[in-house]
Amino acid sequence: MSVEQLITEKLTAALSPSHLEVINESDNHHVPPNSESHFKVIITSAAFEGKRLLGRHRSVNEALADEFANGLHALSIHTFTAEEWLVESNVPDSPNCKG
């Protein structure tokens, strides 16, 4: 199973998202071809209601602890409640770290 699939499955199980995008951004970095080490996650979940940004990010990081221990190097996290997602569904582009 790919890292992208594992991330999707674990976040779905842990946070029951109403919207989830898992984007492999490894090709924007100086890593070998076909790497799965850098991802962007855009997630909307009722589990984020009443949580500050730090708490939301902790929830995501906790769900993916095994992946970080086994090669996941970087994760760009964008968390929203359903109401926030309706108002502000713009997520910034990630920088191209290759220059």
Task: Give pLDDT, residue 19.
Answer: 96
Task: Give pLDDT, residue 99.
Answer: 47
Report pLDDT digits (tens) over 71-94.
887 899 999 999 999 997 778 777
Task: Give pLDDT, residue 73.
Answer: 79
Report pLDDT digits (tens) over 58-70.
999 999 999 989 8
Residues 15 and 62: beta-carbon distance below 8 Å: no
Q: Enumerate domains of the chain plus CATH numbers.
A: 3-87 (3.30.300.90)
Mean pLDDT score across all residues of the chain: 87
Confidence of residue 25 (pLDDT cuts 50, 70, 90): confident
Task: Give pLDDT, residue 81.
Answer: 96
Task: Give pLDDT, residue 71.
Answer: 80
Q: What percent of the chain has pLDDT over 90?
A: 60
